[in-house]
Amino acid sequence: MHFRKRFLATAAVVAIAAAVVFAGTLEISSVEENNIISWFGKKETIYFWYSDDAMTNYINSAAVSFGEKEGVRVIPILLEDSDYLEAINKASLHSGQIPDCYVISNDSLEKAYLAGLAGEISDVENICSSEHFPDTALAAASYKGKTIAYPFFYDTSVLVYNETYLEEWARQQAYRELSGGSDDGEEVTDEPVTEGEAVVDETALSEKTQAYLLNGIPGTVDDILQLADTFDVPEGVEGVMKWDVSDIFYNYWIVGNYMIIGGDAGDDEKNININNEQTVSCLEVYKALNQFFSIESDTVTYDSVIQDFIDGKLVFTIGTSDVVRRLEEAKAEGEFAYEYGIALMPDISSELKSRSLSVTNVVVINGYSEHKELANRFAAYLTDGYTENLYERTGKVSANINANQDNGALQILLQEYSGSVSLPKMMEIGNLWLQLEALFAKVWNGAEVTPLVQELADQITTQLIVQ
């Protein structure tokens, strides 16, 4: 889900108008409850709620597997609606089918905890540790120093590159070096290359190409700009780099290491540091990038950018956790004719570091549940014992470090996630991300950075004081 859609879904949780949704839930309860109890006999039963239909087959399979293993019943309930948490709250208070555990985004944990819909987990399987999850996941699943959820899956941003094009660039640089700087602009072949009196040995060319390719993955924004200046791009390439500059999720890496909002757990209202020298410097770099990458913020979308990458029009882009699956599917269908790679997001410069934004979906044990022990065991099973095929079946990347160990691309994603900053949980600044999107849009279009950062800092400080 794109960040803007995720934000709107989260914001809508505060709405009270969930009557229609709840009526549907009640209908399930009133019509089916007697049949369910009769069918299941006296086996202990829990209800597991989730909101993404892409998870349905996977959740059903996990529920059956766990039920057979434990001799219990797990009933999955899908509710696709922006009033998801409100519906959970109403079902907990008024329904005979209380959601015993459910999936939710980490930025909604404070609201869930304060409403009594989440509490400290028992972690009966002892999985909420660094042996199973990176610190980012554990911080995302915590609130005020307490672990109140099990990390499930995550989303973050990574650099995606066309490896075929990058190899072509490496060959060009190798040829220029070996030929004394000459370049006829033609593609290097397997035969010795002659340029005037210069003859380039193919073996030396191959070795030098590999050396350039090995160091060709950019570590900083400056590296990308240098590559753009030295690359005679193949026909059909429309730009060296393009990404969705309209969505804060793909921009936040620019300031993520220096714009502190609630600390690593995102729940400390005293740990706010927005207006600082490093943040301003990072945004100045971002502003300058518009001179190199002419991206129209009002027309670009994430889907359009990924499609451009699939079509071979880009060398680099920024993708989220779904990108590996999308590219593999495009290759399988013959729509993507290149090799690709996944890399960590580049630093802003040699002095300024980057840090991506991440969102972690977690499994929460409902404070109103009468089956907390069983719900804890199922949550542990779902997030640790049944993770191996999660990505293949759903496109979601498990937050568990023991999953996907044979998938190099997903291991890069995990590495980026491990160093990322989570969405904050503080309800008082629920509109922060819209404010940030507005700030980035103005900076991208040439506005002065310093007053905008000061304005944002003042707004957030006021919101925290008022609330």
| Residue 253 located in a structural domain | no
User: Per the structure block, which two tokens stand in for 244?
Assistant: 């969705």
The whole-number pLDDT of residue 6 equals 52
User: Per the structure block, which two tokens stand in for 107?
Assistant: 């930025």
One domain for residues 130 and 50:
yes
One domain for residues 63 and 198:
no
**Tell me, what CATH number does 114's domain have?**
3.40.190.10
Q: Give me the domain span that covers residue 385.
A: 3-154+360-406
| Residue 234 located in a structural domain | yes
One domain for residues 204 and 319:
yes
One domain for residues 35 and 144:
yes
One domain for residues 341 and 381:
no
Residues 6 or more apart in contact with residue 100 via CB below 8 angstroms: 46, 47, 48, 365, 366, 369, 370, 371, 372, 374, 375
Q: Which of 35, 47, 55, 37 is nearest to 153 (CA)?
A: 55
One domain for residues 216 and 163:
yes
Domain boundary residue among 406, 428, 444? 406
3-state secondary structure 94-141: HCCCCCCEEEEEHHHHHHHHHCCCCCCCCCCCCCCCCCCCCHHHHHHC
- At residue 96, what are phi and psi to the nearest 5 degrees? -80, -5
One domain for residues 182 and 103:
no
The per-residue DSSP string of 274-330 comes to: -S-HHHHHHHHHHHHHTTTS---TTT--HHHHHHHHHTT-EEEEEE-TTHHHHHHHH
The whole-number pLDDT of residue 22 equals 37
- At residue 39, what are phi and psi to the nearest 5 degrees? -70, -40
| Residue 232 located in a structural domain | yes
Range 108-114, long-range pairs (CB < 8 A, 24+ positions): 108/10, 108/13, 108/425, 109/141, 109/143, 109/148, 109/149, 109/362, 109/364, 109/425, 110/143, 110/267, 110/425, 110/426, 110/427, 111/13, 111/14, 111/85, 111/427, 112/85, 112/148, 112/364, 113/143, 113/148
One domain for residues 232 and 313:
yes
CA angle 414, 415, 417 (to 5 degrees): 60
| Residue 22 located in a structural domain | yes
The whole-number pLDDT of residue 4 equals 55
Burial class (CB in 10 A: 0-12, 13-18, 19+), 174: buried
Task: List b or e across 421-451, with b for residues whose CB sees 16 or more CB atoms inside 10 angstroms.
Answer: bbbbbbeebbebbebbbebbbebbeeeebee
How many structural domains compose the chain? 2
One domain for residues 238 and 366:
no
Q: How far out from the chain centre does Cα 332 lie? A: 24
| Cα dihedral value 438, 439, 441, 447, nearest 10 | 130
Cβ atoms within 10 Å of 207's Cβ, excluding its own: 12
The whole-number pLDDT of residue 182 equals 53
The per-residue DSSP string of 399-424 comes to: S-TTSSTT-HHHHHHHHHHHT-EEPP
Q: Which residues of the chain are under the pLDDT cut of 70?
A: 1-41, 181-198, 466-467
Residue type at 204 in one-letter notation:
A
Q: How far out from the chain centre does Cα 105 lie? A: 12
Residue entry with tokens 């400390």 = 268
State the Rg of the chain over Cα. Answer: 25
| Residue 462 located in a structural domain | no
User: Per the structure block, which two tokens stand in for 398?
Assistant: 């498990």
| Residue 275 located in a structural domain | no
Distance CA 383, CA 147 (A): 14
One domain for residues 192 and 104:
no
| Residue 285 located in a structural domain | no
One domain for residues 342 and 221:
yes
One domain for residues 137 and 163:
no
| Residue 215 located in a structural domain | yes
| Cα dihedral value 246, 104, 412, 145, nearest 10 | 110
